[in-house]
Structure 1
Amino acid sequence: MTNYTTKGMLAFLLALFFVTTGPATAGQSALFPTMSLVAGVLNQPLFPVSDAYTTNDDVVVYSEDGVNIEANVFIPSTGQSSYPAIIFISSWGLNEYEYLSAAGRLAEQGYIVLSYTTRGWGESGGLIDTAGPKDVADLSAVIDWLIANTPADPQRIGTAGISYGAGISLLGAAQDTRIKAVAAMSGWGSLVESLYAQQTPRLVWGELLTLTGDLLGRPDPEIHELWDNVKNHRNVEETISWASIRSPLNYVDQLNANGTAVYQAQNFGDDLFQPNSPLELHRKLTGPKHIDLQAGTHAFVEIIGMLGDGDTHIWNNVSRWFDSHLKGEDTPIDQQQPVQMKVKLTDRYEGFSDFPVPSAQPESWYLHPRTAFREGALRDTPFQSWFSRSIGISSWAGTLADTGIPLASQLFEQAKAPITAPIRLLGRDRSIWFRTARLSSDLKIRGIPTTTVQVTPKSDSLQLVAYLYDMDWTGTGKLISHGPITLPSTSPGETVALDIDLVATAYDVPAGNRLALVLDTRDVLYKHPDARATKVDFEFSSHQASRLTIPAL
């Protein structure tokens, strides 16, 4: 179907929508937010209508290098001399019409709301800068325009965005002291960690982002070059330098000096911007801060909120955050603990004063090797033996231990459908696994699990993926968390200790079940360093301890 046909079909659907709802009630229809978002994606804006505000879709801001930034603005019509203002920054692949329904709701609450398309996308000019210095300069130019052309109060300006817009919001707030509050949803703390944590290229998401850039935007040629560097472990220092400039964690001192109020929302199943580095950013912030964590894939929880009336945990907290820090009002978010974790597979949020969670104490188990007749074990004491043992596995194929279907499985987790694996059926030539005894009480995991393993690579490169499972009596494991590590170059035959950080989580393992740790060599999310099969031995001896450590309440 051509673009013309698509837009024609959209026009027909929108016309049908207005005919069936009536022009006076279309903005109040339950379908309106969905229709508005879909229309906006196709650059056919569908603005909400209200007597509480006016809208202007003809805003063009020129950045310091002359590039045009396309925008729209909602202005309350109550006639006040000034209003607090919120700037929405578009997500990767989307445009200024992404947030129209949210903008309308906030405008009704007395905010000027400006939304803009980042450079290199849609009708805005220039090339995609991937949250670089030009994107930060564009945000400051938008603030200049907002102050000069609307009754925005220069002392009460906030920024918000999902994903790409979240990162630019944080980076801009570090550089522009006029930004008093930020709502960063599904953003990142370290772009280095997001692309290459533990030297492991994020294959699925990296390919998806570069493809989206090619299809919908105008990417700077360096984007493909840098992504090829990441995939092939080439020019690593240059690539890390590029990504470091785009990492809010590296500007935390500026955010603290500015006193910026930072709200973050992250999803445990976000395999693009995994929550570990946003949590590290939260830990280092000294100003007002709040982070919500819940199950779900990248940005999906936030988008679901935009498709409805905004009455969700995250979007309510976004509104409350700005009410608190731009209007000076007392709101329910002020009464919440600043770290809120929604326990996976439940509807329950738990609040904590900080991260790492102060009340979560480390519990450790030591890895004991399997035998021909006995499963590998997780025990309270280290492995002791007169003889050392080696157990080898190969990467010639993956196993049934994995992160599921990329993007989709994490959506199912949000609906309380866990990712599972038949632990006892995993191939012994391709994986190694260990399990505890049956738990005598619930194990409440809150934080970042870690494991240290002693291994001897047998090939020139190595990749391991650690999976943590809640294993029931049938041997079926529900995935709690996972984490990869890659050695693009090894010294075959030399034993090394590898420390693997898994993704932060909140999960309750019920009494009677077991905790299981699986290690194999491949997962579809990550690029393997070698097209050939690689081999690795796991080492067990009295002087080489391997362990699993869990932060537990």
Structure 2
Amino acid sequence: MREIFIKLVLTWSLLFGSTHYALANICFELPSVSSPKFEFDDSITVTSLDNVSIAANLFTPTSPPPSDGYPAIIFVNSWVLDEHEYILQAAQFAKKGYLVFSYSARGWGCSGGQVNVVGDKDMQDLSAVVDWLQANTAVDSNNIGISGISYGSGISLMGLAKEPRIKTAVAMSTWGSLTDSLYQHQTPRSFWGFFLVASGFVTANMDPIIAQNYQNLLINQNITETLNWAEERSVVNFVDLINERNAPVYLANNFGDNLFQPNNLLKFYQQLTGPKRIDLNQGTHASGEGFGLVGLESYTWDNTHRWFDYWLKNIDTGIMQQQPVTMLVDLKNKRDEYSDYPLPGQSNETFYLGARGVFSNGDLRDSPYRPWWGKTNTIYSGLDTLATTGIPVLSAILDAHIKTPVKTPMGLISRTNGIVFDTPKLSQTMKIRGIPKVKLNLRPSFSKMQIVGYLYDIAPNGVGTLITHGPVTTYNANPGKTQSIEWELVATAYDVPAGHKLGIAFDTFDLLYGIPTILPYNVKFKFSKGLDSTLTIPTVD
């Protein structure tokens, strides 16, 4: 099945990896949106530096402009969508006195050119948009903000770094490092990558390099060139340009976002030195903000209004007096607030892994495991186990918005293809906040291997609730030699109740990720006096 999946992905990439098949833009205009408070024009065209036409729409307030002009917000489309994505939110901002300019990035909607993925051409387009606003509207050039979800958020952050006329950015379901988002711990994101490449070629004019780079990650070829391409599109590498002018940044993401996982965004947030805020919600990619696009209540969109009102209209909305780091706790209607990240008062609780027995799980111990003689536990690739992230996209939505998490009977996880370690029952609630980390001492039988870790809250009945997970892949291991492998699990905010156990399971496959090989291999977990395998959990009181 895995071989078939890889062949399907490569077939899609090669089939659509040409300009001939890429001309698939979905282009339309909306009828007039009427209101006594604004005028709407859906026929805007901006000509970029290379003569590519960028399609856009504009909301203009009917109230007279302030003496310095209207504050303005630029919205940029998400992947697959176009300039009309933000129509309801744009209308709300226009009623409050903003010029609101929404455009389709090149290659999308009615815009020309090929999808550039936050490259130099996208930045030229953004500069052309600002030029157009200054030449054709009563814009206040000192108060222009930018925002977007997903793809549009990447252009927004990079635009804040590279276009000095942009004062502030709101980036939702975004990334700091595109490299880590696509390939953290050398693990290709096969599910989301396949979705992006396939959907992009159906709905946009895609640059063939996108499919080629995705193929490179899947089959582990031309990795240096591919990652260089991603690094050029990683705003973390341009954070100094944001910091130099103290530009305000508001970030929002979701703990269950397995496209742009929150780890690299938290690290980007740490590097920002100017005014900043980050809200971490529950849900999958864009689900924490998507409800606001259709007019439903949204914590992130409420804060977006307050953020722009403060920075572009000088209205004291109170947002800058609030704690700048918030985390919505999984399965609870509780949002924790903190003054910074890493979280003040956060401690790292380290558990030491002890070997499993013939009929028992391995241990998560408070002190180092020191057997009198070395011990080995072995798992085999080839079959998945009941340790899983669930159904891609759907499981994260059910967890966040319906409070139905992924659950697994821990006793049924295959002992041939997986291994489980757990603590004794906890004497008090463990409040996990942040990025768990794993270090294992492993001896693989092959040079390529993948290990996926799944962190669980194990109830007294033996059923585990998935807290988070994380993969690591190696392509140059030394077969038959013990080596230390360290990696991060995806950041989380979760309370493990007193009386439950904390557990972690490992196997060699998950639907979200591409595998390094279809050849069978085994992985030996090694335990001895000189080798400590650990699980580190970030906790707060």
TM range (shorter): over 0.9
* AA in 1 matched with 2:70: Y
* AA in 1 matched with 2:338: F
**2:219 paired with 1:229:** no
Mapped to 2, the partners of 1:67 and 1:375 lie a distance apart of 61
**2:442 paired with 1:452:** no
**Residues 231-270 of structure 1 mapped to structure 2, 5 A cutoff:** 231-270=218-257
- My pick for the range that moved more, 372-381 or 448-457, is 372-381
**2:505 paired with 1:487:** no
Mapped to 2, the partners of 1:386 and 1:97 lie a distance apart of 67
Q: Which residue number corresponds to residue 285 of structure 1?
A: 272
Mapped to 1, the partners of 2:220 and 2:164 lie a distance apart of 37
CA deviation after TM superposition for structure 1 residue 495, in Å = 1.0
Q: Which residue number corresponds to residue 413 of structure 1?
A: 399
CA deviation after TM superposition for structure 1 residue 43, in Å = 3.0
Determine what percentage of the aligned residue pairs are the same residue.
46
Residue ranges of structure 1 left out of the alignment (5+ in a row): 1-39
**Change in 2 beyond 3 A, CA 1:340/1:281:** same
Contact 2:190 2:512 in 1 (8 A): yes
Q: Which residue number corresponds to residue 35 of structure 1?
A: none
Contact 1:180 1:259 in 2 (8 A): no
* AA in 2 matched with 1:320: R
Contact 1:47 1:100 in 2 (8 A): no
Mapped to 1, the partners of 2:274 and 2:356 lie a distance apart of 49
**Change in 2 beyond 3 A, CA 1:535/1:308:** same
CA deviations on 1:437-472 (whole Å, 9 max, x unpaired) are: 100000000100011010001112110001100000
**Residues 374-385 of structure 1 mapped to structure 2, 5 A cutoff:** 374-385=360-371
CA deviation after TM superposition for structure 1 residue 534, in Å = 2.0
RMSD of the TM alignment (CA)?
1.3
Aligned residues: 513
Q: Which residue number corresponds to residue 357 of structure 2?
A: 371
Q: Which residue number corresponds to residue 52 of structure 1?
A: 37
Mapped to 1, the partners of 2:210 and 2:329 lie a distance apart of 37
CA deviations on 1:67-108 (whole Å, 9 max, x unpaired) are: 000000001111124111000001111111111111000001
CA deviation after TM superposition for structure 1 residue 332, in Å = 3.0
Q: Which residue number corresponds to residue 127 of structure 1?
A: 114
Mapped to 2, the partners of 1:179 and 1:352 lie a distance apart of 28
Which among 158, 176, 189 is matched to residue 202 of structure 1?
Answer: 189
**Residues 342-361 of structure 1 mapped to structure 2, 5 A cutoff:** 342-361=328-347
Which among 282, 292, 297 is matched to residue 305 of structure 1?
Answer: 292
Mapped to 2, the partners of 1:545 and 1:45 lie a distance apart of 62
CA deviation after TM superposition for structure 1 residue 41, in Å = 8.0
Which among 529, 532, 537 is matched to residue 550 of structure 1?
Answer: 537
* AA in 2 matched with 1:152: V
CA deviation after TM superposition for structure 1 residue 223, in Å = 1.0
**Change in 2 beyond 3 A, CA 1:332/1:47:** farther
Mapped to 2, the partners of 1:547 and 1:384 lie a distance apart of 13
Where 1:382 maps in the other structure, the secondary structure is: coil
Q: Which residue number corresponds to residue 475 of structure 1?
A: 462
Where 1:363 maps in the other structure, the secondary structure is: strand
CA deviation after TM superposition for structure 1 residue 490, in Å = 1.8
Contact 2:33 2:40 in 1 (8 A): no
CA deviation after TM superposition for structure 1 residue 46, in Å = 5.2
* AA in 2 matched with 1:394: Y
Mapped to 1, the partners of 2:343 and 2:168 lie a distance apart of 24
Residue ranges of structure 2 left out of the alignment (5+ in a row): 1-24
Mapped to 1, the partners of 2:445 and 2:489 lie a distance apart of 24
Q: Which residue number corresponds to residue 21 of structure 1?
A: none
**Residues 83-98 of structure 1 mapped to structure 2, 5 A cutoff:** 83-98=70-85
**2:128 paired with 1:141:** yes
Mapped to 2, the partners of 1:477 and 1:210 lie a distance apart of 34
What is the TM-score of this pair, normalised by structure 1?
A: 0.91
Q: Which residue number corresponds to residue 18 of structure 1?
A: none
* AA in 2 matched with 1:84: P
What is the TM-score of this pair, normalised by structure 2?
A: 0.93
Mapped to 2, the partners of 1:258 and 1:215 lie a distance apart of 40
Q: Which residue number corresponds to residue 506 of structure 2?
A: 519
Mapped to 2, the partners of 1:347 and 1:480 lie a distance apart of 16
* AA in 2 matched with 1:360: Q
Which among 261, 271, 275 is matched to residue 274 of structure 1?
Answer: 261
* AA in 1 matched with 2:58: V
Mapped to 1, the partners of 2:234 and 2:465 lie a distance apart of 33
CA deviations on 1:97-135 (whole Å, 9 max, x unpaired) are: 111111000001111000000101121000111111111
Which among 78, 85, 101 is matched to residue 114 of structure 1?
Answer: 101
Contact 2:433 2:539 in 1 (8 A): yes
Mapped to 2, the partners of 1:188 and 1:379 lie a distance apart of 35
Where 2:342 maps in the other structure, the secondary structure is: coil
Mapped to 1, the partners of 2:359 and 2:47 lie a distance apart of 71
Which among 62, 87, 96 is matched to residue 77 of structure 1?
Answer: 62
Q: Which residue number corresponds to residue 337 of structure 1?
A: 323
Q: Which residue number corresponds to residue 3 of structure 2?
A: none
**Residues 203-222 of structure 1 mapped to structure 2, 5 A cutoff:** 203-222=190-209
Mapped to 1, the partners of 2:35 and 2:321 lie a distance apart of 32
Where 1:99 maps in the other structure, the secondary structure is: helix
Mapped to 2, the partners of 1:101 and 1:489 lie a distance apart of 51
Contact 2:280 2:326 in 1 (8 A): yes
Contact 1:43 1:95 in 2 (8 A): no
Where 2:503 maps in the other structure, the secondary structure is: strand
Q: Which residue number corresponds to residue 48 of structure 2?
A: 63
**Residues 166-181 of structure 1 mapped to structure 2, 5 A cutoff:** 166-181=153-168
